[in-house]
Structure 1
Amino acid sequence: MLFQPDIHEQLNRENWKRANQQLMAKMFAEYMYEDMIHPEVLRAEGKMRAYELSVTADKSYRFAAEKRLFDSFDVSTDDLKKVEGGLEEEADNAIELLVDLKEIIGMSAETIGHLIKEMNATLIADVHLMEKTEVSSDELINLDYAELEGYMKGHPWITYNKGRIGFGYDDYLRFAPEHQQEVKLNWIAAHKNLATFHSVQNLSYEKLLDEELSGQERDRFFSEVRKQNCVPEDYYFFPVHEWQWNDQLIQNFPEEIAKKEIIAVGDGDDAYLPQQSIRTFVNRSFKEKHHVKLPMSILNTLVYRGLPSERTVIAPKVTEWIKGLYEQDDFLKNECRVILPGENASINVDHKHYGAVKDAPYQYLEMLGSIWRESIYTYLEDGEQAITLAALVHEDHQGKPFIQSLIESSGLDAEDWMKKFYQVVMDPLLHYLYKYGTVFSPHGQNTILVLKDHKPHRLAVKDFVDDVNVTDQPFPELQHVTEEMKTVLRTEPPEGLTQFIFTGLFICHLRYLSHILEKHQLLAEEYFWQLLAESICDYQRRFPELKERFELFDFFKPEMTKLCLNRNRMVDYGYADGDDRPHASEFGCVTNALAAFKEQKV
């Protein structure tokens, strides 16, 4: 299949050039932030600076950028220039730039080889997204939660954010969230000697199956097992992704299939829509049914998108613990009314051979399982609308920010909208941190903003098992955390725990939101961060009894350790098949703009 005429319509010269220039601007900005490149300042006027980056003795790049707080840069896509052999021309080739940076950044040949592949895949996806011009930001603000995800452009920080190594072009068209293709999940039966089932209290395997499958589906699936002369009651039934089954599971579990320990039983009836993470699916046939998280052994951003077995097994217990803190806390439950979509049930299948290998590559230890997460729709009240935080940094094909459309429709000005936003988002995150020594990773995908009349109204946080972390300090509030949970959840020293909010939310998300508001003259970036500092101080005034913990988890230090995401892949970790998932690299410090605003407040 040559994908005619699609491939020629999508990969046209004009869009390819624009996608490359946008990616180049992002590369300059983020590699400067991560101290991987150090261009020379040619001239400065206010916040605007003209830069030149020499890559060889006779070749350089020139670009313009506004200097931002937190040691950040907003690089313009206009007027990107390449100067070679004394001749200046327009710069429009991101892969050429990447190769030119090999020695400057210190990338290995192996790393840059794989990275070229990831960046080309990212550019192809960016070009496809450019064709999505039918819905403006004014219209997107009224779109359904699951559909809205299909318009997002990926991680704002990572420059190879849609690499999806493992996908062919056909897989990309079928399964990437931006194509919004509904899929039916394949179901398999795994023998109970092989698979384990775990759930919150009062949710049995039989009850879960009754909720997720119709009687007809169950009969059909059970019949397939009987056709193999096996007993359905000896098996756990659960969904797998079609790509995972075709490209990973048959090849890695042939023995289990041959022995009928794993039996393919057919497609489910319900239609699902993939979300930005690719491996999480929202049920479109019945909104109240669980969202399903499935392993997909593709490499995207920094990690293979599998389901770590130890975390899959313990997911329901983490859910019960997180919700238990909420239930006993009047502030979280009755004032913030935070929403916590629980990971209520999970099935895990370990691979007996890979599991027996010491230090086996982690991608082979998280290939088969399923997590059922409560649907966000079951929590929404009349007039409420859910969006991921990622949507707030979206700009439509005409450059209008999604957040601008929200503000205009809310009847508030940008200042009051952001004040409400900070109260809604920060209060529950800070309370879990200060009161319980527990932190989520509140990046753009895990954090859901619930709107009412297009105003920030409530917060929802998801993905507990992957991204909940606890303090290493002896907090009495953590005395009921079991040793089993401690071996799975990351335990962090004070700054490490603080970083999940500082980097995960401030640097990874709010940094880009502030750029948008500043660029579109909606709110000056200094005031944007001042409002954040005030929201933290407001919380601290509300709970003075936690003063010692405010100092322990200090968001107002003049400098914080700089965590780097691009550097991790490009310099430190590469594409090694390690036994553990790579974590963000630490390199130097970032100037914390909140420190100055705290001083002003005092």
Structure 2
Amino acid sequence: MTATAPAPAAVFSRSTRVGTTSVVRAVPAEDAARLQAWLAHPASAAWHMGELGVDAVREHLATLVADPAQDAWFVLLDGEPVAYTETYDPARVLLPGLHDAEPGDVGMHLLVAPPGAGERRHGLTDAVMATVVAFCLASAAAGGRDGARVVVEPDVANAAIGAKNAAAGFRVLREIEVTDGGHTKTAALSVCTRADFAASPLGEGVDLAPHLRRDLAEHAHRHLVAKAVAELAHERLFAPTATGPGRWRLDLDGVSYAFAARTFALEHWVVDPASVVRTAADGAVLPVDVLELVAELQPLLGVPDDLLAVYLEELSATLAAATAKRDRELAGVTPDVARLVAGLTAAPVDATAGAAEEARRTAATFATVEAAMSEGHPGFLANNGRIGFSLDDYRAYAPERGGRLRLHWVAARREHTHLALCADQTETGLYGAELSGAERSAFADRLTARGHDPADFLYLPVHPWQAQHRLPVTFAADVARGDLVPLGPGADEYTPQQSIRTMVNRTRPARHYVKTALAIQNMGFLRGLSPAYMRVTPAINDWVADLVAGDATLRGAGFGVLREVAAVGYTGDVYHRTPRPNQHRKMLAALWRESALPRVGPGERLATMASLLHRDASGTALATALVRASGLAPEAWLRAYLDAYLYPLVHALRAHDLAFMPHGENLVLVLRDGVVQRALMKDVGEEVAVLSTARSLPEGITRIATDVDDDEKALAIFTDVFDGVLRHLAGILAVDGVLGEDRFWAVVADVIDRHHAEHPDLTSGVDLRADRFAHSCLNRLQLRNTLQMVDLADQSSSLIYAGTMANPVARA
């Protein structure tokens, strides 16, 4: 770059706060004199090249330029040379044997022009360093070196360059002895990835949580405030005052909320989120904030003071998840309702594609619908708490992210571990189906290599979060003494369902679902699994499945049970020897549940029932879209759904005193052309109940039997079906103008009456057409105890009631 020669074309440029920097290739014949002057300066002593003359420097540059593994560059600031840099392949130059090189590693040396070599601007060194690192990491298309990591080896005694490297995001791996040009130094071997550089002070910066934006948070706050007002008014914790047609007001201490809403049967409120206005006592308009609303409602909610922060944290996590969901849907990552309906109404694949392709598409559609859901339980305000998940955990494991994970496997010493199986299962058959031959051989080899006999162990699948956060910490002693032996991740990929700790096998979709313990706090519970409680889970499932299969009415309705065919739990830890039961006893257990996929025929599609209550970012409801896509009259579509869902539940209760927990996440619907064909029930072992001890049950499963009167038996339909599911669906169809609520509930009544007419021999005293029923309140449960809503061993006595409600299908 002499005064008369044209400057080489820049291969890479960027704008900095001190000016435009660019990188140009060194030209030995033209650049040797300048570089020699820089190297001879005392400030460049670290290069150990100050004694070289111009010819020697020219030869050095020529060697670098001619070597495919190295290169030489100058950095210009607004066209003037301000720095010199060398790049090299550390696998071939300087560091072989000293550095575990990876593909994409780019070595780098940097020399900033010494004082007096040209104009010095404040911030020049930072700008040069940032430019060179960016150049090394930039793609070839952008003129960069296409590096995945930049590698440097500065002298550990050079504190200034160490600090500058740290500012650029370099991480020191270790100290090494490096010899270069006859000079040996102790070097701090350091690397910098694209992510490291972006997050560094010299990088562009990284938005840790880009979904936490004001606009997305505003929408989420309004949605949750509207839901809070609706559901807490439904549970009679307060009563808004009517101020005009469709207009309401809620006055609290020092603040008021005005909003538009429609009310429906079962005291169901549909509040318009956009209409909510929060004002102070002096009339000033305040931000709409769901956390502030809970704080303002605290005197009415009655959350214990020592648990209020836990509830607020779950609510904060729910808010964060809502912003992330909306961000992904607005960006087109999460499909909108139109795309979901297209998948759910897709015709079967061409016969030439084969059954495997049909199954793959069905499994993919099911997973897509699961990931698209905007709500968990529709009645709960704080329904996506997941306390314990970091941001990275959320991105990796939250169902709405649609990600894939591999379960970790642990060998648990047989004498401390219990494996329970359905009658048609065997240990060999279970593991032979769930683990490939290669996995079983590898696990056995790993146990043998550690001095163990594989026959002494059972295999237990563990959620990767649990494997990272609990297994090596909470159970450190058990791992150390060899009662638990971590074996690493399995081969199959899984996707979490809405129930977050239940995984669907995506590699082999027809294989069992796996439900694992997951010690995070979510919606009023630590999401563990009790080995003791699950000992009889397969036996319960066998009994329920046999009852369902043996009942002609349930068979005719297509109603089925996805059995939990096996359960495994470890009890050798010290937590099982404490005087009182504790949550730590629920951290190493799993069960296997039958997949719905083998029960689906060509052209049939699967969807969680919770999806019927889903609205996308534009406000479009999946249920509304399915009705319209089906071509059926709304009442006919609804009747088909109720025949598959309500009718068998009514029959199970009236004929067998059998009650399920039939909320949206516990039912898998089978659809064809957008119309529900039948329903498959899951989560049987933990939540099924026989509401009469007069029923004959096999020895060992009598825990599911309890005596309640006919009015309380009816709540299995009134609370869990009418209030928990149908009031929400009725509201959606009414608001969307699809079906008025009077006609909706008339169809419900018709289904109940048809069951009575078709089964005149049943003598059950359960009256589902009674005038009123007890109003069971779910949010009140969570507000009372945010750590454990109910005692699973005695759920009935845990319930909270708020008087009675008018039955929308009462005979009157």
Q: TM-score, normalised by structure 2?
A: 0.69
Query: Following TM superposition, by how much is the alpha carbon of 1:578 offset from its aligned partner in structure 2, in angstroms?
Result: 9.2
Does residue 376 in structure 1 map to residue 596 in structure 2? Answer: yes
Identify the match of residue 55 of structure 1 among 234, 244, 252.
252
Identify the match of residue 232 of structure 1 among 440, 454, 460.
454
Match for residue 779 of structure 2? Answer: 566
Describe the SS at the equivalent of 1:484.
coil
Describe the SS at the equivalent of 1:217.
helix
Query: Following TM superposition, by how much is the alpha carbon of 1:421 offset from its aligned partner in structure 2, in angstroms?
Result: 1.2
Matches within 5 A, 1:471-482: 471-472=691-692, 474=694, 478-479=695-696, 481-482=697-698
The answer to whether the Cα contact below 8 Å between 1:470 and 1:492 also exists between their aligned partners in 2 is no
Does residue 172 in structure 1 map to residue 394 in structure 2? Answer: yes
Query: Following TM superposition, by how much is the alpha carbon of 1:90 offset from its aligned partner in structure 2, in angstroms?
Result: 5.4
The answer to whether the Cα contact below 8 Å between 1:360 and 1:579 also exists between their aligned partners in 2 is no
Instruction: Quote the Cα distance in structure 1 between the aligned partners of 2:659 and 2:394.
Output: 34
Instruction: Quote the Cα distance in structure 1 between the aligned partners of 2:339 and 2:794.
Output: 38
Identify the match of residue 137 of structure 1 among 337, 341, 358.
337
Identify the match of residue 204 of structure 1 among 391, 403, 426.
426
Query: Following TM superposition, by how much is the alpha carbon of 1:340 offset from its aligned partner in structure 2, in angstroms?
Result: 1.6
Matches within 5 A, 1:19-168: 19-43=220-244, 45=245, 48=246, 50-56=247-253, 58-89=254-285, 91-131=287-327, 132-133=329-330, 134=332, 135-141=335-341, 142=343, 144-153=365-374, 154-168=376-390
Give a deviation string over 1:537-587, Cα, whole Å, max 9, x none: 0111000001x30xx2222222211111111122x2244799867956322
Instruction: Quote the Cα distance in structure 1 between the aligned partners of 2:500 and 2:435.
Output: 22
Instruction: Quote the Cα distance in structure 1 between the aligned partners of 2:766 and 2:571.
Output: 38
Match for residue 419 of structure 1? Answer: 639
Query: Following TM superposition, by how much is the alpha carbon of 1:8 offset from its aligned partner in structure 2, in angstroms?
Result: 4.8
More displaced, 420-429 or 263-272? 420-429
Letter of the 2:603 partner, please give it.
G
Cα distance change on mapping 1:457 and 1:6 into 2, 3 Å: farther
Match for residue 448 of structure 1? Answer: 668
Describe the SS at the equivalent of 2:520.
strand
Instruction: Quote the Cα distance in structure 2 between the aligned partners of 1:416 and 1:199.
Output: 41
Q: CA RMSD in A?
A: 2.1
Instruction: Quote the Cα distance in structure 2 between the aligned partners of 1:451 and 1:576.
Output: 35
Letter of the 1:67 partner, please give it.
T
Letter of the 1:390 partner, please give it.
A
Identify the match of residue 609 of structure 2 among 389, 396, 399.
389
Describe the SS at the equivalent of 1:15.
helix
Instruction: Quote the Cα distance in structure 2 between the aligned partners of 1:94 and 1:273.
Output: 31
Cα distance change on mapping 1:579 and 1:381 into 2, 3 Å: closer
Match for residue 628 of structure 2? Answer: 408
Cα distance change on mapping 1:16 and 1:147 into 2, 3 Å: same
The answer to whether the Cα contact below 8 Å between 1:102 and 1:108 also exists between their aligned partners in 2 is no
Describe the SS at the equivalent of 1:249.
coil
Give a deviation string over 1:124-148, Cα, whole Å, max 9, x none: 0000110223222121021511221
Match for residue 481 of structure 2? Answer: 259
Matches within 5 A, 1:450-465: 450-465=670-685
Letter of the 1:503 partner, please give it.
T
Cα distance change on mapping 1:419 and 1:84 into 2, 3 Å: same
The answer to whether the Cα contact below 8 Å between 2:261 and 2:270 also exists between their aligned partners in 1 is yes
Query: Following TM superposition, by how much is the alpha carbon of 1:160 offset from its aligned partner in structure 2, in angstroms?
Result: 0.5
Match for residue 720 of structure 2? Answer: 504
Instruction: Quote the Cα distance in structure 1 between the aligned partners of 2:301 and 2:307.
Output: 12
Bigger RCO of structures 1 and 2 (CA < 8 A, at least 6 apart): 1
Identify the match of residue 589 of structure 1 among 777, 796, 803.
803
Query: Following TM superposition, by how much is the alpha carbon of 1:473 offset from its aligned partner in structure 2, in angstroms?
Result: 5.2
Give a deviation string over 1:416-473, Cα, whole Å, max 9, x none: 1001111121222122111111111110011122111211211111111111100125
Match for residue 653 of structure 2? Answer: 433
Matches within 5 A, 1:519-534: 519-534=735-750
Letter of the 1:573 partner, please give it.
N
Letter of the 1:349 partner, please give it.
Y
The answer to whether the Cα contact below 8 Å between 1:556 and 1:592 also exists between their aligned partners in 2 is no
Instruction: Quote the Cα distance in structure 1 between the aligned partners of 2:216 and 2:311.
Output: 21
Letter of the 1:15 partner, please give it.
L
Does residue 513 in structure 1 map to residue 729 in structure 2? Answer: yes
Cα distance change on mapping 1:116 and 1:351 into 2, 3 Å: farther
Runs of 4+ in 1 over 6 A off after TM superposition: 1-4, 576-579
Letter of the 2:270 partner, please give it.
D
Match for residue 530 of structure 2? Answer: 308
More displaced, 178-187 or 7-16? 7-16
Does residue 341 in structure 1 map to residue 341 in structure 2? Answer: no
Q: TM-score, normalised by structure 1?
A: 0.93
Describe the SS at the equivalent of 1:63.
strand
Give a deviation string over 1:336-392, Cα, whole Å, max 9, x none: 22222111111122255333334433x222111111111100111122111111000
Larger radius of gyration: 2
Describe the SS at the equivalent of 1:28.
helix
Give a deviation string over 1:3-53, Cα, whole Å, max 9, x none: 96454531111111010001000010111111212333323x3xx2x2222
Letter of the 1:433 partner, please give it.
L
Cα distance change on mapping 1:581 and 1:322 into 2, 3 Å: closer
Query: Following TM superposition, by how much is the alpha carbon of 1:491 offset from its aligned partner in structure 2, in angstroms?
Result: 5.3
Identify the match of residue 759 of structure 2 among 543, 568, 582.
543
Instruction: Quote the Cα distance in structure 2 between the aligned partners of 1:483 and 1:589.
Output: 38
Instruction: Quote the Cα distance in structure 2 between the aligned partners of 1:302 and 1:207.
Output: 36
The answer to whether the Cα contact below 8 Å between 1:346 and 1:372 also exists between their aligned partners in 2 is yes
What is the count of residue pairs matched by the alignment? 583
More displaced, 30-39 or 172-181? 30-39
Query: Following TM superposition, by how much is the alpha carbon of 1:215 offset from its aligned partner in structure 2, in angstroms?
Result: 1.1
Letter of the 1:95 partner, please give it.
L
Cα distance change on mapping 1:348 and 1:587 into 2, 3 Å: same
Instruction: Quote the Cα distance in structure 2 between the aligned partners of 1:578 and 1:388.
Output: 24
Instruction: Quote the Cα distance in structure 2 between the aligned partners of 1:246 and 1:594.
Output: 49
Instruction: Quote the Cα distance in structure 1 between the aligned partners of 2:249 and 2:232.
Output: 14
Give a deviation string over 1:231-273, Cα, whole Å, max 9, x none: 0111001210111122223333222211101100111010000
Instruction: Quote the Cα distance in structure 2 between the aligned partners of 1:495 and 1:311.
Output: 28
Letter of the 2:564 partner, please give it.
E
Unaligned runs of 5+ in 2: 1-195, 345-364
Letter of the 1:127 partner, please give it.
T
The answer to whether the Cα contact below 8 Å between 1:180 and 1:274 also exists between their aligned partners in 2 is yes
Letter of the 1:558 partner, please give it.
D
Unaligned runs of 5+ in 1: none
Describe the SS at the equivalent of 2:403.
coil
Matches within 5 A, 1:9-24: 9-24=210-225
